């Protein structure tokens, strides 16, 4: 054996002897000291509480509004508000408060609640919210609802006495705002309906050009109000692919999903639409909604329809939490090729619609799914159609005309002073 190897062996033996002595001494010391108490592990509940304390509490944001004749502009405002927190709580102003501050609402509170609850970005709803953020209500939001911030658009929301409805929230530093640009407002939509009523009641010599065509293609930026001096703007909506993506779920059906298909105009998206979509979604795993073209609607319901153009209607439907995907410009007839292409399992239609005469025709658009045994008629929960909303406007023509004239002045001021918006392009939110 070489000298180096012998030296290594000697060192290894010495290390083992020393280690044994240390270990033996430790055992003797433990024996003399008596038993050592080992701390018990904390119970599972305590561990869970510690884990929750370590997690960040969800940021809760609050946004309120009338949400009268709810449209994609309202939905986009709620989408932006939700992006500022983790949970969005929405206050829906009472009918009495709206009447006192703006004039009579077109849709009653229970319908507006259905609409707001159906928006995919809304976590919870507070009914009968006040129009102005009072100190008592603000404290209730902070203490009972755990609200971190109050949200509103950067357009002024003034009370009848001229004061800012959100002054208190701004004063305590708990206010955040979203950007407003042109798009649509309840005032615009009411104006479109009033204009349709005037054109329809005009003499036969009147040039009945299609308002739908004007709305869809951006003509007629201002239409005179039969001598009243006020104007009614058509849609300012300029659709972009980014906006559609923002509203979309960005997911498709699974390989074994039961796909339910329902189609329609979905003009002036209302509570009746929401409820039939809710029932349709319950029949499957994925709800596909077909949105008919402006030309299809005009040919079946008259030249003054639709009130909202195809892309406006598509965004309103996409914002609904029950909808998974839409076909923008769906065909009138549901064909075998379409059923195969989208792997549709069930085609449904409600019992309440603008015109059910097509069910009696030989050219029934649902003839193919009926022959295949995959057609189903759903009992509509609410007896509301687009014509219902228009009749409400007509019945209170003078009140809504006065309401619109008041709003048009402030909106005209905005459009006249409009400048380039640096940042995300958003759609107008009307408080």
Q: What is the pLDDT of residues 270-313, one digit of tens each?
A: 999 999 999 999 999 999 999 999 999 999 888 888 999 999 99
For 205-214, how does the pLDDT look when each residue is reduced to its tens digit (9 = 90+)?
344 344 334 3
pLDDT over 70 (residue 84): yes
Q: What is the pLDDT of residue 353?
A: 87
357 part of a folded domain: yes
Task: Note the helical H segments in 263-306.
Answer: 271-281, 294-301
275 part of a folded domain: yes
Q: Do both 142 and 245 map to the same domain?
A: no
User: Coil, strand, or helix at residue 247?
Assistant: helix
154 part of a folded domain: yes
Q: Read off φ and ψ for residue 415, nearest 5 degrees.
A: -65, -35
Give the total number of structural domains in the chain. Answer: 2
From 378, 405, 423, give the residue that closes a domain. 378
234 part of a folded domain: no
Q: Do both 246 and 166 map to the same domain?
A: no
Q: pLDDT confidence of 410, banded at 50, 70, 90?
A: low
CATH number at residue 265: 3.40.50.620
Task: Please tell me the distance from the alpha carbon of residue 429 to that of residue 431, in angstroms, as a whole number.
Answer: 6
214 part of a folded domain: no
4 part of a folded domain: no
Q: What is the pLDDT of residue 429?
A: 35
Helix (H) or strand (E) holding 232: strand 231-232
Q: Do both 137 and 262 map to the same domain?
A: no
DSSP secondary-structure letter at 362?
T
Sequential DSSP letters for 324-372: -EEEEEE-SS--HHHHHHTTEEEEEEES--S--GGGGSTT-TTHHHHHH
77 part of a folded domain: yes
Radius of gyration, CA atoms only, the chain: 32
Question: Cα angle vertex 212, ends 67, 272, to 5°?
Answer: 40
Mean pLDDT computed over 60-65: 97
CA terminus-to-terminus distance, the chain: 96
* Parent domain of 83: 60-178
Structure tokens given for 404? 């619109």
Q: pLDDT confidence of 236, banded at 50, 70, 90?
A: low
Closest CA to 353 of 315, 385, 391: 385
Which of 12-16, 88-92, 239-243 is least confident? 12-16
419 part of a folded domain: no
Helix (H) or strand (E) holding 214: helix 211-217
Task: Please tell me the distance from the alpha carbon of residue 298 to that of residue 402, in angstroms, as a whole number.
Answer: 29
Q: pLDDT confidence of 260, banded at 50, 70, 90?
A: very high
pLDDT-above-70 percentage for the chain: 66
Q: pLDDT confidence of 333, banded at 50, 70, 90?
A: very high
Structure tokens given for 312? 């406006």
């Amino acid at each position: 054996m070489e000298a180096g190897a012998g030296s290594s062996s000697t060192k290894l033996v010495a290390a083992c002897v020393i280690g044994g002595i240390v270990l033996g001494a430790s055992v003797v010391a433990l024996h003399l000291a008596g038993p050592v108490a080992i701390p018990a592990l904390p119970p599972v509940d305590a561990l869970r509480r510690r884990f929750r304390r370590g997690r960040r509490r969800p940021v809760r944001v609050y946004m309120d509004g009338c949400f009268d004749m709810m449209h994609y502009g309202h939905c986009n405002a709620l989408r932006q508000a939700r992006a500022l927190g983790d949970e969005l709580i929405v206050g829906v102003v009472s009918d009495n408060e709206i009447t006192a501050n703006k004039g009579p609402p077109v849709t009653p509170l229970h319908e507006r609640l259905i609409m707001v609850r159906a928006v995919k970005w809304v976590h919870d709803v507070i009914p009968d919210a006040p129009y102005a953020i009072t100190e008592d209500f603000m404290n209730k939001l902070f203490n009972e609802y755990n609200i971190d911030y109050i949200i509103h658009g950067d357009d002024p929301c003034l009370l009848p006495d001229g004061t800012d409805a959100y002054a208190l929230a701004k004063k305590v530093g708990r206010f955040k705002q979203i950007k407003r640009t042109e798009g649509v407002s309840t005032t615009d939509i009411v104006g479109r309906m009033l204009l349709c009523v005037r054109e329809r009641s005009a003499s036969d010599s009147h040039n009945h050009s299609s308002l739908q065509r004007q709305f869809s293609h951006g003509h007629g930026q201002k239409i005179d109000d039969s001598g009243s001096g006020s104007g009614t703007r058509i849609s300012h909506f300029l659709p972009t692919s980014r906006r559609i993506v923002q509203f979309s779920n960005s997911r498709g059906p699974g390989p074994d999903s039961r796909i339910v298909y329902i189609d329609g105009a979905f003009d002036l998206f209302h509570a009746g639409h929401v409820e039939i979509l809710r029932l349709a979604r319950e029949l499957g795993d994925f709800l596909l909604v077909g949105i008919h073209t402006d030309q299809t609607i005009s040919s079946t319901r008259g030249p003054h329809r639709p009130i909202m153009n195809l892309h406006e209607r598509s965004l309103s439907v996409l914002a609904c939490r029950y909808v998974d995907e839409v076909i923008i410009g769906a065909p009138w007839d549901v064909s075998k090729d379409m059923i195969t292409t989208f792997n549709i399992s069930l085609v449904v239609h409600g019992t309440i619609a603008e015109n059910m005469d097509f069910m009696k025709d030989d050219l029934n658009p649902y003839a193919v799914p009926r022959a295949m045994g995959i057609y189903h008629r759903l009992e509509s929960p609410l007896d509301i159609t687009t014509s219902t909303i228009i009749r409400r406007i007509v019945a209170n023509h003078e009140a809504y005309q006065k309401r619109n004239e008041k709003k048009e002045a402030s909106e005209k001021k905005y459009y006249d002073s409009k400048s380039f918006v640096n940042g995300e392009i958003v759609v107008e939110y009307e408080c």
